[in-house]
Amino acid sequence: MRKYVIMGVQGSGKGTQSEILCGDFDMVHINVGDTFRWHVKNHTKLGAQVKRVMNAGDLVGDDLVESVVRGRLDQHDWNYGFVIDGFPRNGRQAEFFMESYDIDGVIHLEIPDAEVRRRVLSRRLCPNCGMDYNLIADRPEVEGCCDICGHELLTRADDTPEALDARLRDYHEKTRPVLELFRRKEVVHDVDARPEPERVQAAIREALHLPALAPGK
Ligand SMILES: [Zn+2]
């Protein structure tokens, strides 16, 4: 069984890399943000608590985050392991996680802020059918138009340079203590997230001493 944490700023390819890795090694990709949304959507007890905190304009506290994470991991649907994403977000959560679960490694996707800006600010969205585009990697065939429905493409409201810079600052501030803590335990593998997704994936597997190709493939 393998237990990994994946860390990286928005736009680092964290979701894509987790999906490829989990798909090939039968692990479960646990996105903690999605788990929160699931609770809220399904009106669970935890969901109600999360909603109450967020409606009051507060940040969800460590205890609640830990309950959500523990509840998710207690489902034990991860016989071959998991890759957790979006957690831990601060030093205390990292301590809790290290104590409760034996982590095999932390995949840290490294990418300069300038590259994040380039990637994120090139995103476009079709407000009509919800299709995502990227002017670098996933260009629409006709500039500014959705390939599927022909609607005009928009930039997401929170994909402005100012909002992105605020998110980057926030990310670095919160992540630094988590990374430092994990580094002291010598579990961090820094991986350059700038190359093509396949090359990044290969580098992750090499760092984790996983076979380049999944068994049976
Ligand atoms: Zn569309």
Mean pLDDT of the chain: 92
Give the three-class secondary structure for 105.
strand
pLDDT at 23 (0 to 100): 94
Six-digit token string for 52: 């109450």
Question: Which amino acid is it at 4?
Answer: Y
Q: What is the per-residue pLDDT for 216? A: 53
Ion ligand 1: protein residues whose beta carbon lies under 5 Å:
126, 128-129, 131, 146, 148-149, 151
Beta bridge partners, 44, equal none
Question: How much is the pLDDT for 15?
Answer: 92
pLDDT for the residue numbered 214? 57
Cα of 153 from ligand 1 centre, angstroms: 8
What sign does the CA torsion over 157, 160, 166, 170 have?
positive
Q: Mean of the pLDDT values across residues 187-206? A: 96
Mean pLDDT, range 207-217, rounded to an integer: 76
Which active-site residues does the annotation give? 14, 89, 123, 156, 167
Whole-number pLDDT of residue 68:
92
Candidates 117, 112, 119; CA nearest to 161 is 117
Q: Please tell me whether residue 3 adopts helix, strand or coil conformation.
A: strand
Residues 101-107 have a mean pLDDT of 93
For residue 217, pLDDT beyond 60: no
Q: How confident is the model at residue 157 (pLDDT cuts 50, 70, 90)?
A: confident
Contact yes or no for 137/35 (Cβ under 8 A): no
Distance (angstroms) between ligand 1 centre and the Cα of 141 equals 12
pLDDT for the residue numbered 143: 94
* 31-85 pLDDT, tens digit each: 998 999 999 999 999 999 989 988 888 888 899 999 999 999 999 899 999 999 9
Q: Can you tell me the distance from the alpha carbon of 197 to that of 111, in angstroms, rounded to the nearest whole number? A: 13
In the predicted structure, residue 144 carries a pLDDT above the cut 60: yes
